[in-house]
A and B are shown apart, each in its own frame.
Chain A
Amino acid sequence: MPALRKSLLLAGLAVGLLAPGSAAQAQLDALLFDRDSSRLNDVFQNAFADAASKAQAATAEVLDETGDRVILATAVSADGLFVTKASELPEGKLRVRLAAGPGQAQARVVEVKLLGTDAATDVALLDAPTGTTTAAWARTGARVGQFVVTVGTQEPVLAVGVVGVGERKVPGNSPLLGVGLGEALPQVIGVPVQRVLPDSGAAAAGLEVGDVIVTFMGVPVASREALVEAIGKLEPDVPVELSYRRGDRVVEATTTLGRRDRFGSSRARFQNEMGGALSQRGGGFPLAFQHDTILRPVDVGGPVVDVDGNVLGVNISRSGRVETYTLPPAEVRRVVAKITEDVDRHASRQ
């Protein structure tokens, strides 16, 4: 009977997996997941192939040293200018793999020059020593509910979604020190620390509950509001100096401000990362629209098209479980013009 006992045990284990609590429902959903009933349905995605193939030749892959894609790029001129996402570019020499054109069996890999970047939009402009095919850009802005198709290089349809929010200014990450503060005591300079977030800039500075922050960026801290305001004026990832009193000692420390969306609510961050990796830089765009397309960070940088194959914009970030952002055509043109002007000005000075 050993075989029978083993199978009983197996059955018991499996039931155990399903029965005890919150993981069970998710387990069940995963087991019963049927791709055909989902929006990932292949027939549905392929229905956009004609539209996407119109922009496929204008799509390229930026490669790392080993030849793997780090990000996509979009051709913006017939003489080889591409835009892509600046913060995902590798150091050193840049190569792109162009989409295989009609009659070409093999996609070409060419070295490209980084002409410049725009910090506000996180756009980089690349110059390829070759002519390229450009796509037709949409004349009207993205509408809420409209289908958007992210175009790939190997296959035309990389992913499909709908526009969730029309064009707007997308807020950036607000800076965060990572402390919970009490009220300043009357007559005493400094604000007491009541909580320190793990992995935050505050934790890195060695701050502990009970410490009193006395100066921030060289300025005495008069109140909780004053400190919050001083932090709010800075950008995430900038180094800051502060000093704090512990017992009768004063400690000076340098640390880096975090990003509120990453550290401020670990639960929100956790939920957003459930379901896939996110782009390094996910917000702070002057003008972008939002859609629900499920992308990996390496799928960003390429064009998105409407059902007719007109380019609605360039994907600029995968920012959360429910958010992918795209720069509209006018914004792409503005940034390209800005970077090329900077390049020209620089060249004329030399």
Chain B
Amino acid sequence: MHELVLRPVVKRFRAVVLAAGLAAAVGGTLQVAPAQARPADARVPTSLAELRDLERRVERTVARVMPAVVAIRGGVGGGSGVIITEDGLVLTAGHVIGAPERFVTLTLADGREVRGRTLGVSRRSDAGMVQITDPGPFPFVKRGTSNALERGQWLLALGHPGGLQEGRPAVLRLGRVLANRPLGIVTDNTLVGGDSGGPLFDLAGNLVGIHSRIGAVLVQNVHVPIDRFDEEWDRLAAGEAFGVREMARAPEASGSYLGIEIEQTETGIRVAAVVPGFAAEEAGLQPGDLIEAVGDEEIGSLPKLLAVLNFLHKPGDEVKLTVRRGPGQVLRLNATLAERP
């Protein structure tokens, strides 16, 4: 069990937490700047000036989005969420609310408690929606898009780790995109139970994801991409519960097939045999070749080769193989992946 759904603290053994006088008192509607995430948002600052620039952007953005971050109780325990419309539509994780038509209590950043009703739940993506039923207006944030998130891009995570704590506003974590896959954005914005449903923002303050689950190490924090909400929007807004729990399973292996038999040796990943009639033969791979990279991914182990072929590529993709043949000879071969027979 490496991957856990980010359940909040177990209710039975948890003291009742009273929300009182949170520090960030903000009224009215949140101003959302039209700023776009800049291409430089994946860059690593190297000078003091650049560090200061990144720091200033993070500080500004967190101050701006903080009023829209909420804690949610009810449903199946509790978690976090974020308001995205003036009249109080809230995005959260599906597993935080459990099912449609439930009554929940939301604690706003200014400490106010409001009532809400759960709308839809996607068991497929772990997307969830709540409507605040008390009258607004509420501070809200702007939705961005997640498909263009680049590896290395800086992101801000907010939420209530461990559940709402008296006197503690939502907690900021800074991190970067490690992988952007349709079923989950993986970051090193560290999360823990209670953060579930909380928002992930780009540096410009656009909402790009919702916290969903964590893995065993600190670099495995997975967020529902905001684009998945867009795809499932109508059903979520209509209060449907749908989908099977895809997120807890492996993403389906694509079944890409190179047409080689491989073995892990001390010198590397070695081609043991080439299956006639498939990509490897066409590309010119030979028994004894050592596969060093597929595309930009270095191949250090057999599981990694299979992971890259199955999860980063699909049948029909053309991939560049970096192959070592004999001493000093490195070849770059193009192969078109087939479907595993």
A interface residues, Cβ below 8 angstroms from B: 3-4, 6-8, 10-11, 14-15, 17-34, 36-41, 43-44, 47-48, 50-51, 143-147, 161-166, 168-169, 171, 174, 176, 180, 197, 260, 264-265, 267-268, 271-272, 274-276, 290, 292, 294, 307, 320-323
- Nearest CB of A to B325, in Å: 18
| A18 B4 Cβ-Cβ under 8 A | no
- What are 28 inter-chain pairs, A to B, with CB distance below 8 A? A4-B261, A4-B272, A11-B262, A18-B306, A25-B251, A26-B215, A28-B250, A28-B307, A36-B152, A47-B46, A144-B59, A145-B55, A145-B172, A145-B174, A147-B55, A162-B58, A163-B172, A164-B172, A176-B13, A267-B7, A267-B9, A271-B192, A271-B214, A275-B216, A292-B173, A307-B52, A321-B190, A321-B191
- Of B128-136, B163-171, B223-231, the stretch lying at the interface with chain A is B163-171
| B2 A22 Cβ-Cβ under 8 A | yes
Distance in angstroms between the alpha carbons of A26 and B213 in the assembled complex:
10
Chain B hits for A40, CB < 8 A = 188, 219
Distance in angstroms between the alpha carbons of A36 and B176 in the assembled complex:
10
| A7 B273 Cβ-Cβ under 8 A | yes
Q: How many residues of B contact A (CB 8 A)?
A: 84
What are the nearest 9 A-B pairs in CB distance? A24-B250, A26-B2, A145-B59, A26-B215, A7-B263, A275-B218, A145-B58, A264-B13, A37-B152
| B162 A15 Cβ-Cβ under 8 A | no
| A294 B218 Cβ-Cβ under 8 A | yes
Distance in angstroms between the alpha carbons of A32 and B219 in the assembled complex:
11
- Nearest CB of A to B59, in Å: 4
Distance in angstroms between the alpha carbons of A239 and B2 in the assembled complex:
36
A7-B261 in contact given A37-B152, A47-B51, A271-B193 (Cβ < 8 Å): yes
- Nearest CB of A to B213, in Å: 8
- Nearest CB of B to A113, in Å: 37
| A25 B3 Cβ-Cβ under 8 A | yes
In the assembled complex, B10 has its CB within 8 A of some CB on chain A: yes
- Nearest CB of B to A268, in Å: 5
| B192 A25 Cβ-Cβ under 8 A | no
Chain B hits for A271, CB < 8 A = 4, 6, 192-193, 214
Distance in angstroms between the alpha carbons of A17 and B264 in the assembled complex:
15
Chain B hits for A10, CB < 8 A = 262-264, 302
Distance in angstroms between the alpha carbons of A147 and B263 in the assembled complex:
46
- Of B67-75, B78-86, B178-186, the stretch lying at the interface with chain A is B178-186
Distance in angstroms between the alpha carbons of A264 and B17 in the assembled complex:
15
Distance in angstroms between the alpha carbons of A336 and B148 in the assembled complex:
51
B interface residues, Cβ below 8 angstroms from A: 1-4, 6-7, 9-10, 12-15, 23, 44-48, 50-52, 55, 58-63, 151-152, 161-162, 165-169, 171-179, 184, 186, 188, 190-193, 195, 214-220, 222, 248-251, 253, 261-264, 272-273, 297, 301-304, 306-308, 310-312
A14-B303 in contact given A23-B1, A48-B51, A274-B217 (Cβ < 8 Å): yes
Q: Which of B169, B173, B273, B297 contacts A162 (CB 8 A)?
A: B173
Chain B hits for A143, CB < 8 A = 59
Distance in angstroms between the alpha carbons of A40 and B178 in the assembled complex:
11
| A168 B167 Cβ-Cβ under 8 A | yes
In the complex, the chain B residue whose C-beta lies closest to that of A232 is B15
Q: Which of A11, A26, A51 contacts B220 (CB 8 A)?
A: A26
Chain A hits for B168, CB < 8 A = 165, 168
- Nearest CB of A to B162, in Å: 6
Chain A hits for B58, CB < 8 A = 145, 162
Distance in angstroms between the alpha carbons of A50 and B45 in the assembled complex:
14
Distance in angstroms between the alpha carbons of A132 and B167 in the assembled complex:
38
Q: Which of A18, A31, A176, A272 contacts B253 (CB 8 A)?
A: A18
Chain B hits for A145, CB < 8 A = 55, 58-63, 172, 174
| B193 A267 Cβ-Cβ under 8 A | yes
Chain B hits for A290, CB < 8 A = 171
Chain A hits for B169, CB < 8 A = 165
Chain B hits for A19, CB < 8 A = 250, 253
In the complex, the chain B residue whose C-beta lies closest to that of A48 is B51
In the complex, the chain A residue whose C-beta lies closest to that of B46 is A47
| B248 A164 Cβ-Cβ under 8 A | no
Q: Which of B2, B175, B192, B262 contacts A272 (CB 8 A)?
A: B192
Q: Which of B184, B250, B261, B307 contacts A32 (CB 8 A)?
A: B307
In the complex, the chain A residue whose C-beta lies closest to that of B66 is A144
Chain B hits for A260, CB < 8 A = 13, 15
